[in-house]
Amino acid sequence: MALSFTHAAITLDAAEAILARAMARSRAMGLRLAIAICDPAGHLVALRRDDGTWPPSIDVAKDKAATSAIFGLSTDDLGAALSYSPALHQGLSQRPGVVLFGGGLPILLGEAVIGGIGASGASEQEERACLTYALEHWTDYA
């Protein structure tokens, strides 16, 4: 019987590289976002908030990142997956820190979820575009 196990988790250096790429894309699109990265347990690893970003976006971005990391799905895919059960969807959506709308993506290394990234401050489509761009080939620059 094993007494312990290990989980892969995103490093601070990798998180900062991804954040830099996401922030650059956000600015190129004329957006002002808060962007957070969490480890697989939903704990904050790194966060950036652009100048002039609405302050509550910090917590929303962190919650989106944590939700994606913990469930291993994008926040909008998780919301859609729960649509079969309105009671479950409503119950989870009322849990502190759980987000069931777009703007959060899991960070994968192979098939392992090593974290989550979330953005807040724009439309779901704009946030998703920045995050998707940041995660493309992230292992090439991390």
pLDDT given at position 142: 53
* Positions of the chain with pLDDT under 70: 141-142
Is the distance from CB of 111 to CB of 67 less than 8 angstroms? Answer: no
19 in any annotated domain? yes
1 in any annotated domain? no
5 in any annotated domain? no
pLDDT given at position 93: 84
105 in any annotated domain? yes
Q: How many domains does the chain have?
A: 1
pLDDT given at position 94: 85
* 36: containing domain: 12-141
Q: What is the largest CA-CA distance in the chain?
A: 54
Structure tokens at 56: 């509550």
Is the distance from CB of 3 to CB of 94 less than 8 angstroms? Answer: no
Is the distance from CB of 11 to CB of 24 less than 8 angstroms? Answer: no
3 in any annotated domain? no
pLDDT per residue over 30-53, tens digit each? 999 999 999 999 999 999 999 999
Could you tell me the pTM of the whole model? Answer: 0.93
**What is each CA distance from 16 to 8, 10, 21, 53, 119, in whole angstroms?**
17, 10, 9, 19, 14
Structure tokens at 41: 């347990």
Q: What is the CATH number of the domain that holds 50?
A: 3.30.450.150
7 in any annotated domain? no
2 in any annotated domain? no
63 in any annotated domain? yes
